[in-house]
Chain A
């Protein structure tokens, strides 16, 4: 209790100012998105919009293929989560709970190669995807990012701590390997699965560089590419851009509010261990 009183007011004020600075870009996005157009281009804009113009947001849906972009992004993210999380769980499980020749070499190989940012291999990756005829398709965006180092690493760390006895007991009871994975290992891994799902969804929703290379047809754009398209207009319509930014961020903020605990855990665990 003594610490509460002894915490200096100056430090609290500094942190509060920092919080204000961190929150202000999001507030300004909101304020611009909902302002009457004339107020947006004032030399000294007012802090609060004089009235809220919700039709700005509606206009973004009618004037651009926003709904299509949202649907594309959601499709990519959901399919990517399903595939990525499934194969990463299986792979991490094998690395944690089996002994087999080549295990350590493979693990090191996968981890070290997956630390390569996709930006470094944009060119060959683009050529591979175009050979498969996957340019301008969702699969072209999804498949190259499925073998995610983060997921394999997290799964292995998590599953190392699951007791071997449970798996052995399953084997003695005559359960098949897939059954053991499905009935024993996965139910014990729910917190891990939650972290993987949240992060993978967030990454695929927010991806830009790779979709930009694969998807060149506006109908196939993700929401991030749509946002970039609006921003690239020689005469940018800032209220519309801010409305679209708001639309693109809203699902992420909802996930943040609902799953903050998992996100913090994910960052702290992979950061330190």
Chain B
């Protein structure tokens, strides 16, 4: 280390001491700061500042054209009494509660199946994974056509099977399930890939030993695969819950939050408030509430994941 000598207790002023310390711990001086500067600049301008600014806006009555005035916590107390906020929150939770467990379960099934040697498995994996590159808008548009009340192929198939047609996207009770089914198409392949990577890191000898002990395939799954997939499950849970909480493209294009408010999730509601009714202050307050919600769930899941790891003896 070519460090500049720093005499302990030298009478140099504060500035000089600080310069010395930088030189001491980083022989390249300012070089690393120059490397991170462009990123840090854009980050501060377009992430850090807006986040702080959102808090400021949320304390005001703020619309795009008129005046702004300080409102204190009025926007936050409005959250509590706004029935539409609670509806949107409930629908967001319902959407997450439907989409997340199902995409994890199907992703795990597909991964366990496609981890076996069998004809066509590479092709099947590719098809399962393909939706990962398809945009939310394209997915929503295709799904709207498949679920179309009159000309949709799903209703045609139902009819051919002797069942009655369903008003998928125009009835308040079926619109959210349609969105969840569409989400599964979009997310199962992603979960499958993460599970496949985890499965491939399980040593084969574990299964060989289990077979020698006479364990059935189901027992092998319960006692080896399931516990060893736990970190992957935990990670996918967090990723998918965050994804579900800020879902927007699918909802906006497929239903626009309707019919009525039956699929209005939180981000859709924030969007309507900000860009249709120009209530920037209230929309910002709701954005912050959503952020707090995401943060709370992530921390909760993280704590739960740690506890179960401890319960398993750190395994």
Q: Assess the B32–A100 pair: CB atoms within 8 A.
A: yes
B53 touches A124 (CB 8 A): yes
Our pick among A29, A109, A123, A228 for the contact of B287 (Cβ within 8 Å) is A123
Q: CB-CB < 8 A to A7: which residues of B?
A: 116-118
**Contact digits for B179-192, partner A, Cβ 8 Å, 1 yes 0 no:** 00000010011100
User: B259-305: which residues lie under 8 A (CB-CB) from chain A?
Assistant: 267, 270-271, 274-275, 280, 283-284, 287-288, 290-291, 294
Cβ-defined contact, B54 with A147, below 8 A? no
A63 — which chain B residues lie within 8 A by C-beta?
Answer: none
- With a CB–CB cut-off of 8 A, which chain A residues contact B129? 260, 263-264
Q: Which of A87, A95, A212, A255 contacts B38 (CB 8 A)?
A: A87
Complex Cα distance, B53 from A249, in Å, reads 36
Which residues of A sit under 8 angstroms from B33, Cβ to Cβ?
Answer: 94, 100
- B36 adjacent to A91 (CB under 8 Å): yes
Q: Which residue of A lies closest to B126 (CB)?
A: A260
Q: Which of B110, B127, B242 contacts A23 (CB 8 A)?
A: B127
**B100 proximity list for chain A (CB < 8 A):** none
* B143 interface residue per 8 A CB criterion: yes
Q: A249 near B35 (CB under 8 angstroms)?
A: no
Interface residues of B in 20-68 (CB under 8 A from A): 21-22, 25-26, 28, 31-33, 35-36, 38-40, 42-43, 45-51, 53-54, 57
Task: Mark A168-190 against chain B: 1 for CB-CB distance below 8 A, else 0.
Answer: 00000000010001000000000
B45 touches A101 (CB 8 A): no
Check if A90 sits within 8 Å of B35, measured CB to CB. Answer: yes
In the bound complex, residues from chain A placing their C-beta under 8 Å from that of B137 are 206, 208, 224, 227-228, 248
Q: Given contacts A28-B145, A91-B39, are A121 and B130 in contact (CB under 8 A)?
A: no
- In the bound complex, what is the Cα–Cα distance between A205 and B39 (angstroms)? 21
Quote the shortest CB–CB distance from B299 to chain A (angstroms). Answer: 12
Interface size class of B (residues with CB under 8 A): 35 or more
Are B116 and A272 closer than 8 Å at their CB atoms? no
The reply to whether A147 and B26 form a contact with Cβ atoms under 8 Å apart is no
Mark the stretch among B78-86, B218-226, B246-254 that contacts chain A.
Answer: B246-254
Total number of residue pairs linking A and B with CB closer than 8 Å: 282
Q: How far is the CA of A7 from the CA of B51 in the complex (A)?
A: 53
Contact of B284 among A101, A123, A245 (CB under 8 A): A123
Which A residues lie within 8 Å of B138 (CB)? 224, 227, 245, 248-249
Is B135 a contact of A22 with CB atoms below 8 Å?
A: no
From B4-12, B151-159, B170-178, B306-314, the one touching the partner chain is B151-159
Q: Which of B42, B127, B136, B141 contacts A241 (CB 8 A)?
A: B141
A95 to B, closest residue via Cβ: B36
Shortest distance between the CB of A52 and any CB in chain B (Å): 18
Q: Is the CB of A100 within 8 A of B25?
A: yes
The residue from B21, B46, B126, B267 contacting A128, defined by CB atoms under 8 A apart: B46
Judged by a CB distance under 8 angstroms, whether A114 is at the interface is yes
State in angstroms the CA–CA spacing of A249 and B138 once bound together: 7
Contact at B134–A143, with CB atoms within 8 Å? no
Is the Cβ of B287 less than 8 Å from the Cβ of A25?
Answer: no
Q: Is the CB of B145 within 8 A of A98?
A: no
Contact present for B194 and A271 (CB under 8 Å): yes
Apart from the given pairs A91-B36, A252-B135, 15 other A-B contacts in the complex at a CB distance below 8 Å? A44-B160, A86-B38, A100-B33, A115-B242, A119-B246, A121-B47, A123-B54, A123-B274, A124-B50, A124-B284, A147-B47, A224-B137, A268-B194, A271-B239, A272-B232
- Leading 5 A-B pairs by shortest Cβ distance: A206-B135, A98-B32, A94-B35, A124-B50, A268-B197
